[in-house]
Amino acid sequence: MEVNRDEAERCIDIAAAALKIHQPEKALRFLEKAQRLFPTEKAQALLDLIARNGFTPRHGAHSDFSDVSGPRQRQAPHEDTKPEEKPSDTSRSYTAEQLEAVRRTKQCKDFYEILGVQKDFSEDELKRSYRKLALKFHPDKNQAPGATEAFKAIGNAYAVLSNANKRRQYDQWGEEGRHPSSSGPENGHFEPDISPEDLFNMFFGGGYPSSNGHVYTNGRMRNQRRERRERPRDGGLAVFVQVMPILILVIVSALSQIMVNSPSYSLSFRPSAGYTQKRLTENLKVPYYVGEQFSKEFTGMNLKNLERSVEDDYISNLRNNCWKEKQQKEGMLYRARYFGDSELYQRAQRARTPSCAKLSEITASLH
């Protein structure tokens, strides 16, 4: 499906990076995942490359490649190797620099130090710092001991500091001297609303959190659905207690819709139920739809005030869409530069931001 294309591209990028550091098993896993999500010729070409180099997945089997496009090089087995000896686990290789970076992160005293920003940071500084550190400590890139915990701490730090309310609470209660990545009850006030992996995907994959997200716990990633299946089934009363808030919410929502009048206009792109008459605002020529009795109910100042609300809502929607378009484009550019993917870089450069263009056009007309 088209919605899985960005995630498939990310899997291909990870696979290409794994081949460069001699990890064909990992590359094969991500390429197969990419083909399941969104089949592409690029992923198939890399799969064919692994097959030509003689790699066949089995327990204890490892093949090394000098380069993604280089000739086949297979390690010759030592004659004196005992049958019970197992080959070294190359998939867990890491450098001394990565290990030292993990150690420094674990020694940080607060979220500000983890992200390397001052308390008067700007929004752009916070985003730049998170992008740099998230790429550096992501478990697919950094496999040093403790890297997963460091990646989780970086995500938690950004999730808290980017939220004005949580940041204000953290500044007030964060002087206890507890490490930000601890999961004890004392630190429950600053639990983020999004998992580190979902936050990473928002920045670099162009996607948004899904209900089947993964959670890092004690250095391992577990699937939330699997956890829910493994939980023992509660009795009928417990199920009713869990469902009761949802029932109350549905009832309150239904009552509110009955008691509250329908909006006077709709900003949809086509007619809808109750909004069949198309109009344009007098100032910015913003299209909107109204009901059949609109002309009788709104005249003079009432009409001007309503059209001002229409234009404010329209500009607000443009700002939100513009921000999303920029985030997606910046994420693609970062991935392209980091993995050296020229094709992805060109695609990111060509990516359009229509909402931003329309917003600039309106801003210019107002001055």
pLDDT at 159 > cutoff 70: yes
Are 360 and 273 found together in one domain?
yes
Are 107 and 196 found together in one domain?
yes
Are 196 and 278 found together in one domain?
no
Are 106 and 11 found together in one domain?
no
Of the listed ranges 13-22, 101-110, 285-294, the one predicted with least confidence: 13-22
Are 166 and 100 found together in one domain?
yes
187: in domain: no
- DSSP labels, 240-265: HHHHHHHHHHHHHHHHHHHHSPPPS-
72: in domain: no
> In 3D, which of 2, 1, 10 has the Cα closest to residue 344?
10
Of the listed ranges 53-67, 200-214, 321-335, the one predicted with least confidence: 53-67
- Cα separation of 114 and 155, whole Å? 10
pLDDT for residue 312? 92
- The HSE-up count of residue 316 (CA atoms within 13 Å, CB side) is 7
pLDDT at 65 > cutoff 80: no
Are 282 and 197 found together in one domain?
no
Structurally, the chain folds into a number of domains equal to: 3
Average confidence (pLDDT) over 66-82: 39
Tell me the CA distances in angstroms from 54 to 46, 78, 322, 350, 362, one per residue in order: 13, 18, 47, 38, 59
Collapse the DSSP code of 166 into the 3-class scheme (helix H, G, I; strand E, B; otherwise coil) and give the result: helix
| CB contact at 8 A, 147 and 102 | yes
Are 44 and 105 found together in one domain?
no
Are 38 and 116 found together in one domain?
no
pLDDT for residue 320? 92
| CB contact at 8 A, 266 and 313 | no
270: in domain: yes
Among the candidates 181, 201, 221, a domain finishes at: 201
Are 29 and 106 found together in one domain?
no
pLDDT at 244 > cutoff 90: no
pTM given for the model: 0.34
pLDDT at 287 > cutoff 70: yes
| CB contact at 8 A, 166 and 190 | yes
| CB contact at 8 A, 16 and 32 | no
63: in domain: no
Are 48 and 103 found together in one domain?
no
102: in domain: yes
Long-range contacts of 53-60 (CB under 8 A, 24+ apart): 53/24, 55/24, 55/25, 55/28, 57/25, 57/28, 60/86, 60/87
180: in domain: no
Determine which helix (DSSP H) or strand (DSSP E) holds 359, and give its type and residue range: helix 354-366
Domain around 49? 1-53
pLDDT in tens, 206-218: 443 443 444 444 3
Are 106 and 39 found together in one domain?
no
pLDDT at 151 > cutoff 50: yes
Residues in the chain: 367
Are 34 and 105 found together in one domain?
no
pLDDT at 64 > cutoff 80: no
Confidence of residue 62 (pLDDT cuts 50, 70, 90): very low
∠ CA(119), CA(124), CA(128), 5° rounding?
95
pLDDT at 338 > cutoff 80: yes
Give the mean pLDDT of the chain.
75
Q: Is 120 left (phi over 0), alpha (psi -120 to 50) or beta?
A: alpha
- Cα separation of 98 and 147, whole Å? 8
Name the DSSP class of 151: H
Confidence of residue 55 (pLDDT cuts 50, 70, 90): low
pLDDT for residue 190? 57
129: in domain: yes
pLDDT for residue 178? 44
111: in domain: yes
pLDDT for residue 77? 40
